Amino acid sequence: MTISEIPEELKIKRQQLDQVDLQIVDLLAKRFEITQQVGEVKAAYSLEALDGKRETEKLSSLRDYSKKFGLSGSLVESLFALIMEEVVANHKKLR
């Protein structure tokens, strides 16, 4: 199938997905701006970069929340675990 053979409906859906992907990246950037501020507060108070209890509770909450939308809880949990892993690494750099 060549590009000219792709149904217009599919092209439109792909464009919509492209826009949603950009929104996800925008939100992720905003999340990291906030976690940077959290890391700075933790560093100022000599708090640990990782709050295991908070992370466990948050992942569980997100897993449960994802069910409202018919999403895979394990997928959402895995995605956020990766995000949180990066956040903790960034917080450790601030110490």
Q: Where are the domains of the chain?
A: 7-93
* 50-51-55-58 Cα dihedral, nearest 10 degrees: -140
pLDDT confidence of residue 86: 97
State whether CATH 1.20.59.10 applies to domain 7-93: yes
Predicted TM-score (pTM) of the model is 0.89
Please, what is the Cα angle at 42 between 56 and 64, to 5 degrees? 20
Per run of 10 residues, the mean pLDDT along the chain (length 95 residues) is: 84 98 98 98 96 97 97 98 97 92
